[in-house]
């Protein structure tokens, strides 16, 4: 019964959003709205994805996971999501800066929000020239100094800025103060959690014309005050014949790898986990024992754990981000 699953994207209007999902990925977006997020693979209660192709079309990810957990998730991945699919995969379009924010760890999230914490990673699909992200703190920053800066209106001097370009990636563990800055389209792989604590929101108002809520005390409580000056991921590409694979992130919640393909590449099932595929450049074809599926930039697919080996064949140079549970 298993085949590559596609989902109907869940679009979220955001005050900081834009239209790059339309202009760069060819999506048909709701007319005129600033779309900040597209949830591509999700089982979170705030947005549960519905399968859009094949025999399971119309069923939610949660329905299929509940009915066939081992076939979908793999035997060792079932416990990872606390009753939900363990990852949430989304695109984020920042026309303006997101809030300066931080996410809790599992212990704090479960105790105070009723859901796990939120560790995530970002792959930069597009970055305007001279763009940066905020990640971590300038060396020597303390909780007290940050609280004082907030009280005086602007913590900017205490925030570490990381220059980025298209194709970079960066790891954002729970506790890392961060913000996505303008001019960026990001692929985000994260724990299935939607808890965000805002520290600072640039003095703007939300879509309703009112200032958005801040969560200063919670944020100060969960932030890592020794997280100084992190950078982008800088792992070497490993040759696979004519192709390469690069490890972008690895933690207890997910492993993320990027395959740069010039020739057909077999993706085996040795991880024992489902795999989420995001086509971040080029296009081609995915082939499995039951058929084939065309691939183009911006596509997101979920390969169930029980799906037999699949082959990715580039039509042109193709880059694929693959995420799974370790």
d(C-alpha 31, C-alpha 60), whole Å = 26
Instruction: Give the sign of the dihedral formed by CA 39, CA 43, CA 47, CA 52.
Output: positive
Those residues with Cβ within 8 angstroms of residue 241's Cβ, 6 or more apart along the chain or in another chain: 263
Cα torsion through 130, 135, 141, 142, rounded to 10: 150
Q: In what order do the strands lie in the sheet with 291-296?
A: 265-267, 310-314, 283-288, 291-296
Tokens of 32: 């005129």
Core vs surface per residue 214-240: b (16+ CB within 10 A) or e: bbeebbbebbeeebeebebbeeeeeee
- Nearest to 216, CA basis, from 249, 252, 251, 177: 177
Is 198 an annotated catalytic residue?
Answer: yes
d(C-alpha 301, C-alpha 76), whole Å = 21
User: Of the listed 6, 198, 204, 297, which one is catalytic?
Assistant: 198
- Nearest to 275, CA basis, from 233, 245, 243, 240: 245
d(C-alpha 217, C-alpha 212), whole Å = 15
The set of catalytic residues is 198
């Amino acid at each position: 019964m298993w085949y590559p699953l596609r989902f109907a994207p869940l679009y979220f209007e955001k005050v900081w959003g834009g239209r790059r999902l339309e202009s760069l990925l060819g999506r048909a977006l709701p007319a005129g709205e600033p779309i900040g997020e597209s949830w591509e693979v999700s089982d979170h209660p705030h947005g549960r994805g519905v399968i859009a192709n094949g025999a399971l079309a119309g069923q939610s990810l949660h329905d299929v996971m509940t009915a066939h957990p081992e076939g979908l998730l793999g035997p060792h991945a079932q416990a990872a999501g606390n009753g939900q699919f363990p990852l949430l995969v989304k695109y984020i379009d920042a026309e303006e800066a997101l809030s300066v924010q931080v996410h809790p760890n599992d212990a704090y999230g479960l105790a105070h929000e009723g859901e796990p914490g939120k560790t995530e990673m970002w792959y930069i699909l597009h970055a305007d020239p001279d763009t940066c992200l905020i990640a971590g703190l300038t060396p020597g920053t303390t909780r007290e100094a940050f609280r004082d800066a907030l009280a005086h209106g602007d913590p900017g001097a205490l925030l570490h800025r990381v220059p980025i370009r298209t194709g970079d990636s960066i790891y954002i563990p729970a506790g890392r103060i961060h913000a996505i800055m303008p001019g960026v389209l990001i692929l985000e792989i994260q724990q299935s959690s939607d808890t965000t604590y805002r520290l600072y929101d640039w003095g703007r108002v939300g879509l309703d014309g009112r200032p958005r809520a801040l969560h200063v005390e919670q944020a100060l409580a969960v932030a890592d005050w020794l997280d100084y000056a992190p950078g982008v991921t800088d792992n070497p590409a490993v040759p696979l014949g004519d192709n390469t694979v690069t490890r972008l992130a690895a933690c207890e919640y997910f492993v993320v790898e990027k395959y740069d393909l010039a020739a057909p590449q077999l993706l085996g099932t040795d991880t024992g986990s489902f795999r989420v595929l995001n086509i971040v450049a080029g296009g081609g074809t995915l082939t499995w024992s039951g058929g084939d599926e065309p691939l183009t930039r911006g596509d997101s697919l979920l390969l169930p754990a029980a799906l037999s080996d699949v082959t990715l064949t580039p039509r042109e140079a193709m880059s694929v981000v693959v995420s799974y549970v370790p």
